[in-house]
Amino acid sequence: MTVKEIIEKLDLKCLNEANLDAEIKGAYSSDLLSDVMGNARSGQMWITMQTHKNVTAIAALKDIPAVIIVRGNQPDEDMLAHAKEEDICILVSNEPTFIVCGKLYELIK
Amino acid sequence: MHYTFTIEQGNFTDAGQASSSVKRTLKQLGVDPANIKRTVVALFEAEINAVAHAYGGTIDVDIDDGKIVMVVADQGPGIPNIDLAMQEGWSTASAKVREMGYGAGMGLPNIKKNTDDLKIDTKIGVGTTLTMTVNLV
């Protein structure tokens, strides 16, 4: 399933359009950055409530095409600017992590 | 090829710039993606450690056909107990650093897992130097 389809099905707000046609086969959910650094795989979506610039630094290094920020949190300005530079899709869900993960799992399992 | 970068204490905003620059270079050189991944994970963790725990430092990266050697030297407090620091889950990170999602005690273990050789030279009150090697062949 593509990022674009996931945006529609999960009713996500897209703050930086990038990688919309990327095919998503998996996701990683964690707010611990070293956990993501060590264990997320390239091509996966990342679900988190962290909203600072190191999120996009890690996404860029790990080739993570899209990040979903949960509970309606907004990314910091410098995170969003960095996402534009690095072409990382930034999405916001109003729902909490558990619900987002559950719905995404159902879509791409 | 030799690259040098500077690390500023507490500057999380720019953390990852060295890793990002090294990643671009390795891609241009046509280095195998798996080795690029290992290299940037290790370098990013070392960068963050220097930003979060130390008082600034330097990064020196040497790339040749056979290996990548990264030396991250900080002017930090030093590591009192390396065995504990290598233990997953052990961290001395501040509350502020933890709020950002760091301080899970996974930094040095991640570095160890992703490199072929890791040397830690540390002196209390002076600093810590990590020498990390990724073999390309």
Domain ranges of chain B: 2-135
DSSP, residue by residue, A64-81: --EEEE-TT----HHHHH
Interface contact flag, B104 A34, Cβ < 8 Å = yes
Low pLDDT (below 50) residues in chain A: none
Please state, in angstroms and rounded to a whole number, the distance separating the CA atoms of residues A62 and A47. Answer: 14
* Distance from the A78 Cα atom to the nearest Cα atom in chain B, whole angstroms: 8
Q: What is the pLDDT of residues A52-75, one digit of tens each?
A: 999 999 999 999 999 999 999 999
Interface contact flag, A35 B104, Cβ < 8 Å = yes
Count of structural domains within chain A: 1
DSSP, residue by residue, B11-45: --TTTTHHHHHHHHHHHHTT--HHHHHHHHHHHHH
Reading the block at residue A81, the tokens are: 């600017």
DSSP H or E segment with residue B129:
strand B127-135
- The domain that holds A25 is classified in CATH as 3.40.1390.20
pLDDT at A39: 95
What architecture (CATH level 2) is domain B2-135? 2-Layer Sandwich (3.30)
Q: Which residue of A has its CA nearest to B105?
A: A34
Q: What is the pLDDT of residues B45-83, one digit of tens each?
A: 999 999 999 998 999 999 998 999 999 999 989 999 999
Q: Which domain holds residue A94?
A: 3-108
Which among A35, A54, A62 has CB closest to B12? A54
